[in-house]
A and B are shown apart, each in its own frame.
Chain A
């Protein structure tokens, strides 16, 4: 596989080994391709795995890597017999107490719904090495797939205490918090994600939306403004910014009706300007489109409330 070769080129040549390598190197999730080319390369039968006649023409390192990859693909597609056969083949080269092998075993047990045995394996892996991030994450996945939200969040929390730098895990926790309407928790998690990806417009947008939903319109404005500064084509952030500004004005009106506390006039002016400015920017994107008329009506409604 040369440095300039892409997947379509390798597929056209039917270069099984290079295709598998490419998929591994680029961390692609293409289980169908892996099964097609992995079974052809290694001599397995995907539809009748028990009739497989594995070949041993490859060197041990390449054969083991390809077999592991084929096993993961079989698990991904729920082909339990093929997963079982490839697990047995891996055992020919690695001892059964290998952490990597046990991880695959755990994933296979998960895929057939045997969560109890899978969790046992992950607990053993964590007992051997408490910083085994993979086992901790799989424990969370087992609980999440059983809809045990509370226990899943607890497991993910334990993982994050050991691995606070895992941005993807913070993102997952944020979504778990949102699913149970814990907006305060979700905003805390998205703040961690923003620390890790400060120049990602979509992350600021998500945080802004969560603050808006939680009723903190000032912080919502801050992050949605940052989102559009980073990416002027982020329409969702523009709409969100207008909504947050409107929310802030409604909030101010509600509070001033209840108490005689002084209104922050500057902030109110900023909110009004944001609505008009956001509207202009959005119409710039929608000009000449069929949806433009509907968007114009929406933005006219927003500006008329000012």
Chain B
């Protein structure tokens, strides 16, 4: 594997998911496409803001598979943000991505997200010689710019915490699979909490890119 690209949309989604659940670990699926010597992550699908269990992981991965079945994209790996810092992905995330890699036979990556502090927003790990996903991918193989994405992330976080007219009454919200299947008041909420598309965030990133 040589180059790895993380799209601005995927980075912003991972960051907003982590920022929304500041004191909990967050987890999600990375999707995109592979070419001869590179991996291009185009989007991130938030799964949960707690330690992932088998039903959460299985059901969300199956839904992601069905979503991607008519697109030229595939599942590329897993992302996570630790609840209390740390320089490596947490144990549950390593377990999930290890299992994904063993079952699919494909190369997978795991991204560690860090919204606060001086660390990079997204750090990518791949499988090392010890078979765990703790080998950091060197920055020379990464093709994503941190600084412009950080500005968009900061605006997004402000959008989440302010009831801004730009985002409607509920503010800019990002939903994961766990939010989607939590108790809902009316059927329309199931589409509003569409964790696969997260249209509000996608539109927000598109507007930010157009500026």
Is the CB–CB distance between A179 and B91 below 8 Å?
A: yes
A66 within 8 A of B: no
Taking CB atoms, residues of chain B closer than 8 Å to A297 are 66
Contact with A along B90-104 (1 / 0, CB 8 A): 111001000000000
Contact with A along B168-211 (1 / 0, CB 8 A): 00000000001011111001101100101000000000000000
Is the CB–CB distance between B62 and A209 below 8 Å?
A: no
CB-nearest residue of chain B to A177:
B51
Q: Which of A179, A235, A236 contacts B92 (CB 8 A)?
A: A179
Taking CB atoms, residues of chain A closer than 8 Å to B53 are 178, 209-210, 212-213
Complex Cα distance A288/B95, Å? Answer: 37
CB-nearest residue of chain B to A206:
B53
Chain B interface size, as a band, is 20 to 34
Complex Cα distance A129/B41, Å? Answer: 56
CB distance from A21 to the nearest CB of B (A): 27
B54 within 8 A of A: yes
CB distance from B91 to the nearest CB of A (A): 5
Question: Which A203-256 residues have C-beta < 8 A from chain B?
Answer: 209-210, 212-213, 231, 233-236, 239-240, 243-244, 247
Complex Cα distance A234/B183, Å? Answer: 6
Complex Cα distance A247/B54, Å? Answer: 10
CB-nearest residue of chain A to B58:
A243
CB distance from B133 to the nearest CB of A (A): 15
Is the CB–CB distance between A291 and B62 below 8 Å?
A: no
CB distance from B92 to the nearest CB of A (A): 6
Is the CB–CB distance between B86 and A175 below 8 Å?
A: no
B55 within 8 A of A: yes
Complex Cα distance A291/B59, Å? Answer: 14
A147 within 8 A of B: yes
A298 within 8 A of B: yes
Complex Cα distance A295/B25, Å? Answer: 27
Taking CB atoms, residues of chain A closer than 8 Å to B178 are 236
Is the CB–CB distance between B91 and A180 below 8 Å?
A: yes
CB distance from A76 to the nearest CB of B (A): 13
CB distance from A214 to the nearest CB of B (A): 9
Known: A147-B86, A235-B181. A289 touches B190 (CB 8 A): yes
Is the CB–CB distance between B67 and A294 below 8 Å?
A: yes
CB distance from A156 to the nearest CB of B (A): 15
Is the CB–CB distance between B187 and A181 below 8 Å?
A: no
B63 within 8 A of A: yes
Q: Which of A209, A291, A301 contacts B190 (CB 8 A)?
A: A291
Known: A212-B53, A213-B53. A243 touches B59 (CB 8 A): yes
Taking CB atoms, residues of chain B closer than 8 Å to A26 are none
CB-nearest residue of chain B to A288:
B187
A285 within 8 A of B: yes
A33 within 8 A of B: no
Q: Which of B50, B95, B194 contacts A290 (CB 8 A)?
A: B194
CB distance from A49 to the nearest CB of B (A): 25
Complex Cα distance A234/B50, Å? Answer: 17
13 chain-A/chain-B pairs, Cβ below 8 angstroms: A144-B84, A178-B50, A178-B51, A179-B83, A209-B53, A210-B53, A231-B183, A236-B55, A240-B59, A289-B188, A290-B191, A291-B191, A298-B63
For the complex of A and B, list the 9 residue pairs with the smallest distance between their C-beta atoms, beginning with the closest.
Answer: A240-B55, A209-B53, A236-B181, A178-B51, A235-B181, A213-B54, A243-B55, A213-B53, A290-B191
Known: A213-B53, A213-B54, A294-B66. 20 other contacts (CB 8 A): A147-B84, A175-B50, A178-B50, A179-B90, A179-B91, A179-B92, A181-B91, A181-B92, A212-B55, A234-B183, A235-B180, A235-B182, A235-B184, A236-B178, A244-B55, A289-B191, A290-B194, A294-B67, A297-B66, A301-B66
